[in-house]
């Protein structure tokens, strides 16, 4: 920094303190914004600012795809992506992966140009992530499916079972209970997607929606077929088994919801900050003492309850596959917590207390 | 795979392949002898039934070899092929007695036998670094006929088994039962047959691509002595 710009900084800091003293704290986030409040400051700013040149190369072919000159030092990767999008409209920002190294990790949208290890001519490598779809869209689609599909089997829509059973209802009250529980579960998930969850990533690859929907919709149809079948056999231990199963299911649904709320409250709206989750006043969150991802623990519990309630092998299979996938996710999350936070509690396991 | 491990296992692998090769030769010889003895090709399955079962099941080791890295083939492709063969051997031919005298069984047994003899010769000679060009050529050319032949035999055998499976309810579970689950083996077999439609062309074209890669550079390779 030159002597004149250092002097200017000092001036701006003083000016900023004055304004803060007058009560302008909510308007002025930091002192550098004061520089631009005066036209003089702005002229100096433009004169003394080092503009960057950015060139973007294809990570595989090393072809020069884009050259941007006069990029401000405090430009973010997100802004650079928007500029790149202008010259290549088929690559919207969500499908751009910008990195410093062709085989390196993607840079984050929030990363600022001048804080990156680049010279005044920055070279970035671009990789096309393929067509992207928003997480919200995927979640809503994959959860709406099971909700509707199960109901189709419950109401015994034609062409599923023998014609004499069309639009009849099951004579077993556990079948009605199971329908309520299953529907409640997916309505809860839909509402959480709309109002509770705060997603780190905006988008995922488009092909995921086909993969995910096949999984959820396929399993829902398979389970619903047997539970709502005219030849369905209720649980062996009757009312006792069903009552216990319902208690487990409801307990874990409340638990799962409590964890989602607790995780949401860790993160201010619109931000992507990551913090260690801790138990709150809600007893359902005390499981954070023992587990990194209690939302998965409670989810497993819910489905175990549902399996017990319906005593249906396909439900057990769905629970098992879900458990395997959630364990993989929980272990990954646990590992990234450990990597990111030095003081991460050592008592915690990824998904099952002390076991897994 | 670390070269030290490769060096240590290569002697064992060669022995393994020579044993696999000789087993398939046993089957081939068994087939020829039975044919000559009987004068017709009906019921030849029975003459090689036991060796076929044991050797084909032993081929499950192949998947392990791919996973560990001794064999350069892909685990997925090899696993798939071995599984489909084991399925045909045990879950169809062995399980449904009535199809054992079908000609289609002979069709796929011959196809498998010839393929495996060439393949194991290829692996054995490769490991010994004495691969005659003829064997390499045979491995990447015979499949043009052997693959469709094997597939035809397999599909015809499954198709022949269908009425018996439906009649006896083989391997099927019906409702009602305490686990609220059902499985219809007859429908399952039909789905298996349908799965050949997307899968067979992929395997076939994979071999064609491999052929171009391996035999395409004929001018660069001279006969290995």
Q: A153-181: per-residue pLDDT in tens?
A: 999 999 999 999 999 999 999 999 999 99
| pLDDT surpassing 70 at residue B76 | yes
Supply the DSSP symbol for A75.
-
Please report which confidence band the pLDDT of residue B42 belongs to, taking 50, 70 and 90 as the band edges. low
The predicted model gives A264-273 an average pLDDT of 79
Q: Do A311 and B181 touch (CB under 8 A)?
A: no
By Cβ distance, the residue of A227, A233, A314 closest to B177 is A233
Provide the β-strand partners of residue A64.
A57
φ, ψ at A280 (rounded to 5°)? -110, -165
User: How far is it, in rounded angstroms, from Cα A105 to Cα A124?
Assistant: 12
Q: What is the mean pLDDT of chain A?
A: 87
Chain centroid, CA B166 distance in Å: 27
3-class SS of residue A226: helix
Structure tokens at A92: 């919207």
Structure tokens at B197: 């439609």
Are A46 and A37 in contact, with CB atoms under 8 Å apart? no
Q: Is B187 on the interface with A (CB under 8 A)?
A: no
Are B120 and B22 in contact, with CB atoms under 8 Å apart? no
Q: Do A233 and B180 touch (CB under 8 A)?
A: yes
Q: Is B195 on the interface with A (CB under 8 A)?
A: no
Q: CA dihedral defined by A327, A332, A334, A337, rounded to 10 degrees? A: -160
User: How far is it, in rounded angstroms, from Cα A54 to Cα A122?
Assistant: 5
Are A355 and A349 in contact, with CB atoms under 8 Å apart? yes
d(CA B173, nearest CA chain A) in Å = 12
| pLDDT surpassing 70 at residue B5 | no
d(CA B184, nearest CA chain A) in Å = 14
Are B172 and B91 in contact, with CB atoms under 8 Å apart? no
Q: Testing the interface with B: which of A153, A233, A238, A320 to mutate, by most B Cβ within 10 A?
A: A233
Amino acid A179: pLDDT: 97
Angle at A241 between CA A239 and CA A243, to 5 degrees: 65
Phi-psi region of A62 (alpha: psi -120 to 50; beta: other; left: phi over 0): left
Q: Do A233 and B182 touch (CB under 8 A)?
A: no
ipTM of the complex: 0.71
The predicted model gives A231-257 an average pLDDT of 96
A117-155: per-residue pLDDT in tens? 888 888 889 999 889 998 999 999 999 999 999 999 999
Q: Do B181 and A227 touch (CB under 8 A)?
A: no
Choice among A209-213, B18-22, B38-42 with the minimum mean pLDDT: B38-42
Chain A residues bordering chain B (beta-carbon distance below 8 Å): 226-227, 229, 231-233, 236, 310-314
Catalytic residues of B: 147, 154
d(CA A192, nearest CA chain B) in Å = 32
Cis ω before B176 (30° cut-off from 0): yes
| pLDDT surpassing 70 at residue B43 | no
Q: Is B3 on the interface with A (CB under 8 A)?
A: no
The predicted model gives A51-65 an average pLDDT of 88
Structure tokens at B22: 């000789």
A121-128 and A96-99 strand pairing: antiparallel
For residue B176, the chain A residue with the least C-alpha distance is A231
* Residue with more model confidence, B77 or B132: B132
B80-92: per-residue pLDDT in tens? 788 888 899 889 9
| pLDDT surpassing 60 at residue A3 | no
A52-58 and A132-134 strand pairing: unpaired
Structure tokens at A30: 């930091």
User: How far is it, in rounded angstroms, from Cα B199 to Cα B210?
Assistant: 17
pTM of the model: 0.75
Which residues in chain A are contacts of B178 at CB distance < 8 A? 233, 236, 311
Residue A277: CB atoms within 10 Å: 19
A318 burial level (CB within 10 Å; 0-12, 13-18, 19+): buried
| pLDDT surpassing 50 at residue A8 | yes
A52-58 and A96-99 strand pairing: unpaired
By Cβ distance, the residue of B176, B177, B181 closest to A314 is B181
Amino acid A150: pLDDT: 97
B128-181: per-residue pLDDT in tens? 778 788 888 888 899 999 999 999 999 999 999 999 999 999 999 999 999 999
User: How far is it, in rounded angstroms, from Cα B96 to Cα B158?
Assistant: 10
Please report which confidence band the pLDDT of residue A53 belongs to, taking 50, 70 and 90 as the band edges. confident
Please report which confidence band the pLDDT of residue A328 belongs to, taking 50, 70 and 90 as the band edges. very high
A121-128 and A52-58 strand pairing: parallel
Please report which confidence band the pLDDT of residue A10 belongs to, taking 50, 70 and 90 as the band edges. low
The predicted model gives B49-71 an average pLDDT of 73
């Amino acid at each position: 920094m030159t002597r004149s710009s250092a002097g200017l900084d000092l001036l701006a800091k003083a000016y900023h303190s004055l304004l803060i003293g007058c009560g302008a704290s909510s308007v002025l986030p930091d002192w550098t914004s004061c520089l631009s409040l005066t036209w003089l400051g702005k002229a100096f700013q433009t004169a003394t600012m080092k503009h960057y040149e950015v060139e973007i190369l294809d990570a595989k072919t090393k072809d020069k795809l884009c050259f941007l000159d006069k990029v401000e030092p405090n430009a973010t990767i997100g802004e650079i992506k928007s500029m790149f999008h202008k010259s290549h409209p088929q690559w919207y920002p969500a499908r751009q992966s910008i990195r410093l190294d062709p085989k390196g990790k993607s840079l984050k949208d929030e990363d600022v140009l001048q804080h990156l290890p680049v010279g005044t001519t920055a070279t970035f490598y671009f990789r096309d992530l393929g067509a992207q779809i928003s997480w919200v869209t995927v979640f809503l689609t994959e959860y709406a499916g099971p909700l509707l599909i199960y109901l189709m089997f419950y109401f015994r829509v034609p062409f599923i079972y023998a014609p004499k059973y069309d639009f009849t209802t099951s004579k077993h009250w556990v079948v009605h209970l199971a329908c309520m529980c299953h529907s409640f579960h997916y309505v809860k998930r839909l509402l959480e997607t709309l109002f509770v969850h705060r997603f780190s990533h905006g988008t995922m690859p488009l092909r995921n929606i086909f993969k995910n929907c096949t999984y959820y919709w396929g399993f829902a149809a398979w389970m619903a077929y047997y539970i709502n079948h005219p030849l369905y056999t209720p649980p062996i231990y009757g009312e006792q088994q069903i009552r216990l199963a319902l208690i487990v299911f409801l307990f874990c649904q409340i638990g799962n919801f409590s964890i989602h709320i607790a995780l949401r409250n860790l993160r201010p709206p619109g931000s992507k900050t990551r913090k260690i989750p801790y138990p709150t006043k809600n007893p359902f969150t005390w499981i954070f003492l023992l587990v990194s991802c209690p939302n998965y623990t409670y989810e497993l519990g819910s489905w175990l309850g549902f399996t017990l309630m319906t005593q249906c092998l396909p439900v057990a299979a769905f629970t098992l596959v879900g458990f395997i996938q959630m364990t993989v996710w929980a272990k990954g999350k646990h590992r990234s917590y450990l990597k990111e936070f030095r003081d991460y509690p050592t008592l915690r396991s990824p998904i099952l207390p002390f076991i897994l | 795979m670390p070269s030290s491990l490769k060096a240590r296992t290569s002697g064992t692998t060669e022995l393994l392949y020579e044993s696999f090769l000789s087993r398939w030769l046993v089957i081939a010889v068994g087939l020829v002898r039975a044919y000559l003895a009987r004068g017709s090709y009906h019921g030849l399955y029975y003459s090689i039934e036991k060796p076929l079962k044991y050797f084909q099941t032993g081929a499950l080791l192949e998947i392990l070899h791919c996973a560990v890295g001794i064999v350069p083939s892909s685990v997925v492709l090899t696993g798939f092929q071995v599984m489909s063969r084991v399925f045909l051997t045990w879950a169809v031919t062995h399980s449904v007695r009535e199809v054992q005298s079908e000609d289609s069984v002979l069709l796929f047994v011959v196809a498998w036998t010839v393929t495996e003899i060439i393949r194991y010769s290829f692996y054995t000679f490769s490991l010994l670094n004495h691969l005659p060009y003829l064997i390499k050529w045979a491995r990447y050319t015979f499949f043009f006929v052997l693959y469709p032949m094997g597939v035809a035999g397999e599909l015809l055998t499954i198709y022949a088994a269908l009425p018996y499976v439906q009649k006896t309810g083989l391997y099927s579970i019906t409702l009602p039962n305490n686990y609220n689950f059902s499985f219809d083996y007859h429908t399952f077999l039909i789905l298996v047959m349908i799965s050949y439609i997307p899968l067979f062309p992929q395997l076939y074209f994979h071999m064609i691509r491999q052929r171009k890669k391996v035999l395409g550079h004929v001018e660069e390779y001279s006969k290995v002595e």
